[in-house]
Every structure is written in C-alpha cells, then in structure tokens.
Structure 1
Amino acid sequence: RHPTPPEEIERRRELARRSSWDERAARMEEELVRLFPPVTVGIVTFNNRELTELCLESVRRATVYPNYEIVVVDNGSSDRTPEWLEELAGRWPRLRVIANETNRGFAAACNQAFEAGSGQILCFLNNDTVVTRGWLTSMVRHLVEHPETGMVGPVSNGVANAARVEPGYRDLAGLDEWAASWRREHRGDSFPIPMLALYCAALRREVWEEVGPLDESFGTGMFEDDDYSKRLRKAGYELRCLREAYVHHWQQASFGKLPGEEYARLFEENRRKYREKWRQKAGAAEPAAGEAAAAEGVAAAKEPPAPRELPVYDSAESSGAISAMIADLLQYTDLLRLLVGTNLKTRYKRSLLGVAWTLLNPLATMVVMTIAFSALFRFSLPDYPVYVLAGLTFWTFFQQSTTQAMSSLVWGSGLLKKVHIPAAVFPLSAVGTGVVNMALSFVPILLIMVVLHHPFTWALLFVPVAMVLISIFALGISLILSSLAIFFSDVVEMYGVFLRIWFYLTPVMYPEKIVPERFLWMIKINPLYHFMLCWRAPIYNGTLPPMHSVAVCVLWAAGMLLAGAWVFSRQEHQFALRA
C-alpha cells in the first residue's frame, strides 16, 4: 500500500471543510437569496446626518427582504456625513457610498445611485424617512406580480393626496407596534394614484430604462416627482399606492431650511420648466406607428391604453379658471374625506367624551342662554330652548367653518410645498368638517323637540336644503378669507371683530319682533338673516320659509361661491410660496 501524497491529503481536508454544516448552510443561504430579485435602494443625502442615521438604522432593523443593496449618494454635505457613511460602509457590506463634491441635485443623485447599483428593482428612499417592517417586500412583490404597474409607493403620515393616512402613534417609540397592526389590517390592499412622491417609491429597472432617468434639469429639486409620474402614465403604466406598506416621513428636511426667497425662486423656476416641458409635449405630433421616439420623450410620446388612463392634477398647469379648479377638486375627493376625518379626529383626540361634545356643547349653551334671555330681558317665546338651540347650531357652524377655513392654507402649507394639490381642498375640508358637526348637532335639537313636545312637521324635510344653501355661502366666504389671510395675517383679527358685530345683527338669540321698527332694515339687509329663516322656520315654526327668503339665499349662495372661486383661482398659484 502506497502512502497518500500530501497534496491529496490537503485536498481532502479542504473538501471536508467545504462540506461542513456551516459551509453548507452558507451556500444554501446564498442560493436562496438569489431567488429574490435584487433591489437597489437609492438614498440622497445633503447634511441632516441625524435623520440619515435614523433612516439607515430603520432600514437595517426593519427590512426583512433578503436581496438588497443600498447606494447612498451624498451631495456635498458639510456636517461630516460622508465620513460617517464611509465608516458605516466598512461595517455594513450592503452599503455603498458615492460622495459628490458639490450638490448635484436630487434627480442627478438618484440617477447616480441607480446607475451604480445592480438591482433589477430600483427604490427611491429619502433620508428623512423611517421605514417599517415589510416596506420593501410589499413593493417588490407587487411589481413582480403586476407587470402593468410602473411604480409603487407606500402610505405615509407625510404626504398629500390619498397616500396620506392619519398615524396612530405619538412618537417613534410607538411606530413599529402601530405599523404592524396597520399592515395586518390592510394586507394586500392597493389603489391607483395619479402621482407618487419620490420620498419612497419603487419600479423595475426595465421600466426605468424604457422611460428614462429623472430629468436633471430640475436641479436641486421640486417637480421631478410630478414629471416622472406623468412620464410613467404617458408610457402606459399604472401607479399604485400600497396600503399595507407604511413609511414615516418627516418632510421638508432639506427644503425647509432654505431661505424663503431661495425657496420661492426655486419653486417658480422649476414650475416654469415643468409647465413648458409638458405644454410642448402636449402640442407635439405623435410619431408614426413603429417609429422610435426620442430617448427622453419616449414616455410622453405614447398614448396610454384606455384602461390605464388615470385622472391627474398638475398645479403648475392650472389655468386659473373656476371650471378647472372644480374639475381638480373632483379628482381629490379621497383627500377631502381624509382631511375632514383628520380634522374631526384631531379636535376630539384627547377628549374622554370625544364627539359627544358636539351634542353637549350646544345643549349647555342653550341652558345658559335660555335662562339669561328669558329672565333677564323679559321676552318670551313658546319653546324658547328649541328657538335658541336652532340659532346656536346655525351660528356655530358658520363661525367655526369660516374661521377654520381662513387659516387652513397656513395649516396646510407643509403639504402645499411638498406635493402639488388643489389648494381649495383645505378651505373646503374646513367647511366639510363644519357640515358634519352641524348634522350631529341636529340630534340635540330633535331631542329637545321631543322633551318639550314641540310639533314635528313635514317642513323638516327642508332642513337639508337649508344646510346646503348655508354651506355654499360659507364656502364662498371661506375661499375669499383664506385667499386674503395667507397674504395679510391681520385679516384673521379683523374677521374676529366683524363676526362679533355680525352675531348681534343676526337674530340668533332674540326674535326680530323686539327690534324697533326704525332699526329693522339693518337686520333684513343681513344675508345671514335670510339663511337663518330658511334654517329655523322648518324647525321652530313647522313651516316652509318665505319664498322670497329662499330666493335671496339662492342668489347670495351662488353669488358668494362664484366670487370666492374667482378670487381664489386668481391667487392660487402664489399660495405655496406665501404659506
């Protein structure tokens, strides 16, 4: 028997090492990972290192998808972000860093990240986000299973349109638990959406190569997400928002630090570029069948198939026409419902009784006013509590709706600056919230009518008509007030004074019969007097209101709505800059 050569012994030892359970497990893991489409997550940074740390830590902790890489492109940060990223990349093999000496802008940096990456799926992710478990898996799965979808995105607390959801957590400590519950409740849910903001969105590389990279002419940023969403739709692709995927978004981490003048200049410049680009594309002739389109215009040159055509609002293309503003609002009914719901939840969020205060407040005020006016001023009306409660409900709606709508553009400035939506949705949501509260407040009126045995008549069917008329009138005033308040903050204080005077000129607490004849004309030229008649006559008198008062209300409501819409549409293009 011949001795085994040393080389053979070494070969067998190496084979044994490779066949250990650890080695087998490692090779099996590598093979399993390759079964998942590789993903490149592109993150652009410019200072804000603290937010970047939060973002990357959330990606490391919450991403269960096995086959992904992260390419961070730093745009010339001055807070030592590049050095920190390089040090982190040395400890985290998934991370690659590209350091630009200057700020090349958001679009150019995203293009850099995706060109450097090797993923079949490309994912935008802002550094001012915190992701939650399953965020990437959901987007990849949808893209793989639905080739007709061009791009997908999550829902978030920090975005406009229907992608925004009301968060159920107060701080990041409660984010993961709430997000897990949200994901279980909405697993598999998605819906079409006209525009996806690129704080977090994913698409297949083949789609990216077909439609082309982001338009770098937008420079530092703004409007590149509107532009890319439109290019995808023109190429025949659908955009979808995934309810099961949730990403926390801080918003305006970089743009919010720009001086007001610089922000305004950048906004106007990019809006002009966007408007001119799509005006030219809309007027260009379509290529002949089978003819290759120009590289960047390929997406815009194609007509999408009818089933994929989605309504879209582009604020930069707003013509200022009232009809255009109404058409825009009709496409954002989901956002309107969301804002109304948010207003109601915010108002009663920390209240033990919650929405019950909508019923208790008018009842408590009614008791006080009934005692004060009935005893102190020595006039009496049959069933005075019904009379005063009807008046209070009417006035509370008008006062709260117009007051809240007046400041709504200021409150919504964060969304207006981030994503381009019809600004009228904010005052409209304030009035819509008032309508919901008014409808709920009608319950105490009915309750008091029952307690006092006040007669119910068929005239009560006119109450919804009266609500519609006063709501239209309030909306018209709200559009004017919100247009003025965003330019002149003094309008808020002036309107508060005017409301107090208007209250006493409107027979909310007192009957008009106690007003001296020589002053009665002051009451009757007040438009709210006629709206009050239309509202209170069916409730208190059990009769239809006088027809001349109904006619006056129709004219005032229509006229005020047209005036408000005209003023609002003329100024709308400046709201994002002034907010």
Structure 2
Amino acid sequence: MLDNFKSYSNKKDNPPIFSIVIPTWNNWDILKNCIKAIRNHSNLNHQIIVFINEGKDDTLEWVKSQNDLDYVFSPTNVGSCYALNSCRNLFEADYMLYLNDDMYVLPEWDKVLYEEINSLNTKMFMLSATLIEPTDTGNSCVVKQDYGNGFDDFKEEKLLSEYKNLVREDWSGSTWPPNIMPVELWDLEGGLSIEYSPGMYSDPDFSKKIYEAGVRIFKSKGESLVYHFGSKSTKRLGKNTGRIQFIMKWGLSSKTFTQNFLRIGADHNSSIREASLN
C-alpha cells in the first residue's frame, strides 16, 4: 500500500500553527470551498495537507496547481484511517487538526481554538469546533440552521452575515472533526486504528485511546463555528461494523463511553463543577 502513496510538500516561509489534514474523495467543488474558507477566515498561518483518494475528478490537478497545499495521493480509496495516518510525515506544526472536505470554517474559528490551547497548562487535550448543519439529526451538540446542503445551493453570504448569532456555550465530549490536539498526543496513540477502515467509529475509538492515556479535557468551543454540509463521502462508502468493533475492543458501547465518561453535549463549565464534586 505504501508504494501507492505519493506525497508532496511545498516549502513554507513561516512556521504554521496548525497542520490541517483534509481527506477527500472526488469532491473537487466542496474541497475548493473548504480551502477557500480556510484561506479567507483564518487569523493564523496554517499548513494545509490534502489526502486525495482516487482523484478521478479534477482534484489532483487542482491541488498540484496550488502553491500553498501539501498532499498525499492514493490511486484507490483507502478511507479516513489510512488517509490521516499517512499524512503524519508531512506535519510541520505542533498541533494537528482534522477537517472534512465538506466543512466551511467561519471567521476567527482558529483564533478561538488557539486561545484555548494557550490557556491550558497541558498537552493532554482534544479540542473541537462546533458544527452548524442544515438538517436536524437529533445531535444536540450541533447548531441546526439551513444554509444549503451542498456547494450548488450554499447560501454563503447569508451564513457570513448571521453566524455570530449561532454562537453557543462551550460543551463537553466531542469526538468528531473538526478536532485538534498536539502532534505528540497523536503520535502517542499511533493515529487512527486501521481496523476501523474505512473509518466508521474510528473517532470515538481514538478518544477512548487518549482517555486511557489520561486525557480528560475533551472540550468544544462554542465560538469556533464550522458549517457542515454533511457526510458527502460517507454516504457513498461501504461501511465497517464500527459499533460492534468498538464494543468488542473496549467492553462497552461508544454511546456509553461518550455519554457517561465524556459527558458529550453537556455544558463544559457544568461538567467541570460536577466532576469536582464527585
């Protein structure tokens, strides 16, 4: 498999703050939209690494033409676990951020996360942004507001004029992207577990791995907002039986772990107060 991965890195003039990894699978239009948002709405300098699965559309040629993008290319679709892990040798920043190609970061998204990082006196943390999604999936962690289901009907100007009204309180327990952690923590656990390929339940599995290593800060910032069109690649995938794999590996369900241990969706300050009383 390694012989099929082709990597390329552009020389950087300034050291990046985040190494942003974006797996993509023939989603050229929304990938361009995602990268445009990073370029336009970031306060800090970042490295952008694109993992290109197949590239049967114009993705590979377009990424090659951009002088600020690093990439890894696989001629076959290897899923998210192998994709993220194979990008490790390109990381130039101290912090690794995982972003999906169907996400659109909003102004100051990175400033909020970096300020939180600087307030922590530890490298044992996972932080994440808060998603805005067009449909109600029953996920209380997500802000529900419809600005389009894809690139063709994306109401970008309306979103940019209204997103500040969608800020929420910080909350506990996110396991999904966009999430960020120190590269040292990523290395400690060896990245995503490839037995979950192509990737279903690899997110909560990674959270469980770092929880076992002693991480207790799983915090999502309510002011760091990212619009999410929603599963533009996963809907096309043949999915692994991640729910069962998680139970067999850890002896409890992903739901039990995220609800009872990470207290997912709870107000972060309330979770801290309750934890201090127990």
User: Which TM-score band (shorter chain)?
Assistant: 0.7 to 0.9
Task: Say whether the 8 Å CA contact 1:271–1:316 is kept in structure 2.
Answer: no
2:114 pairs with 1:114 = no
State how many pairs are aligned. Answer: 241
> How many Å separate the matches in 1 of 2:240 and 2:132?
23
What is the match of residue 210 of structure 1? Answer: 188
Q: Rg larger in 1 or in 2?
A: 1
Are 1:274 and 2:211 counterparts? no
Match of 2:20 among 41, 64, 79: 41
Q: How far off is 1:132 after superposition? A: 0.4
In structure 2, C-alpha distance between the alignment counterparts of 1:245 and 1:74, rounded to whole Å: 26
Tell me if structure 1 keeps the 8 A contact 2:172–2:265. Answer: no
Q: 2:172–2:266: 8 Å Cα contact kept in structure 1?
A: no
> 2:247 touches 2:254 (CA, 8 Å); kept in 1?
no
Q: 1:179 aligns with which of 157, 163, 180?
A: 163
Q: Deviations over 1:448-474 (max 9, x none)?
A: xxxxxxxxxxxxxxxxxxxxxxxxxxx
Q: Is the 8 A contact 1:42 1:114 kept in 2?
A: no
1:127 aligns with 2:106: no
2:254 pairs with one of 314, 336, 340? 314
CA deviation after TM superposition for structure 1 residue 82, in Å: 0.8
Q: Is the 8 A contact 1:85 1:97 kept in 2?
A: yes
Normalised to the residue count of structure 1, the TM-score between the two structures is: 0.39
How is 1:141-180 mapped onto 2 (pairs within 5 angstroms)? Answer: 141-148=115-122, 150-158=125-133, 161-167=139-145, 171-180=155-164
CA distance in 1, matches of 2:147, 2:32: 21
Alignment of 1:319-358 (within 5 A): none
TM-superposed deviation, 1:162: 4.2
1:409-434: per-residue Cα shift (whole Å, max 9, x none)? xxxxxxxxxxxxxxxxxxxxxxxxxx
2:161 equivalent to 1:191: no
The DSSP-based 3-state class of the residue aligned with 1:163 is coil
Residues 168 and 99 from structure 1, CA distance in 2 versus in 1: closer, same or farther, beyond 3 angstroms?
Answer: closer
Tell me the distance in 2 between the aligned counterparts of 1:55 and 1:252: 14
TM-aligned CA deviation for residue 152 of structure 1:
0.7
Change over 3 Å in CA distance of 1:316–1:275 after alignment to 2: farther
Preserved contact between residue 99 and residue 179 of structure 2 (Cα < 8 Å): yes
1:226 corresponding residue in structure 2: 204
Structure with greater strand percent: 2
Q: Secondary structure at the match of 1:177?
A: helix
Unpaired segments ≥5 residues, structure 1: 1-29, 283-312, 318-326, 336-579
Instruction: Find the aligned partners of 1:174 and 1:234 in 2 and give their Cα distance.
Output: 43
Partner of 2:34: 55
1:47: Cα distance to partner?
Answer: 0.6
CA distance in 1, matches of 2:63, 2:264: 40
- The one-letter code matched in structure 2 to 1:248 is Y
1:273 alignment partner AA: Q
* Larger RCO (alpha carbons 8 Å, 6+ apart): 2
Q: Do residues 99 (structure 1) and 73 (structure 2) align?
A: yes
Q: Note if contact 2:23-2:80 (Cα within 8 Å) is conserved in structure 1.
A: yes
**Compared CA separation, residues 177 and 162, structure 1 to 2 (3 A):** same
Superposed CA deviations along residues 134-179 of structure 1, whole A, max 9, x for unmatched, are 1122222212321445111111123764421133857322111222
Identity in percent: 21
Could you say which residue in structure 1 is the equivalent of 2:9? none
In structure 1, what is the Cα distance between the partners aligned to 2:205 and 2:89?
Answer: 20
Is structure 2 residue 225 aligned with structure 1 residue 246? yes
The Cα of 1:334 is off from its aligned counterpart by 5.4
Q: What's 2:151 paired with? A: none
- Cα deviation, 1:184-210, whole Å, max 9, x if unaligned, reads xx6xx52322x4212x11111121122
Question: For 2:19 and 2:25, how far apart are their aligned partners in 1?
Answer: 20
Question: Gapped runs of 5+ residues in structure 2?
Answer: 1-12, 149-154, 268-278
| Counterpart pick for 1:64 among 23, 43, 65 | 43
Matched residue type, 1:153: S
- Partner residue of 2:152? none
Q: Larger % of helix: which? A: 1
Give the letter aligned to residue 189 of structure 2. Answer: V
Q: What's the C-alpha RMSD, in Å, of the aligned pairs?
A: 2.7
- Shift of the alpha carbon at 1:58? 0.9
| Secondary structure of the corresponding residue to residue 226 of structure 2 | strand
Task: State the Cα distance separating 1:221 from its structure 2 match.
Answer: 1.5
Post-superposition offset of 1:102:
1.4
Measured in 2, the distance between the counterparts of 1:46 and 1:117 equals 21
Label 1:226 to 1:155 Cα distance change in 2 as closer, same or farther (>3 A). Answer: same
Which amino acid letter does the alignment assign opposite residue 224 of structure 1?
A: S
Structure 1 residues 160 and 111: CA distance shift in structure 2, 3 A: farther
Q: Please state whether the residue corresponding to 1:78 is helix, strand or coil.
A: coil
Contact 1:41 1:70 in 2 (8 A): yes
Paired with 1:267 and 1:107, the residues of 2 have a C-alpha distance of: 12
1:82 aligned partner? 60
Contact 1:161/1:334, CA 8 A, preserved across alignment: no
Aligned residue identity for 1:102: T
Q: CA deviation at 1:223?
A: 0.4
| Equivalent residue letter for 1:78 | K
**Inter-CA distance 120–191: structure 2 relative to 1 (3 Å threshold):** same
CA distance in 2, matches of 1:243, 1:333: 11
* CA deviation profile, 1:195-249 (whole Å, cap 9, x unmatched): 4212x11111121122321112211121000101111222221200100100001
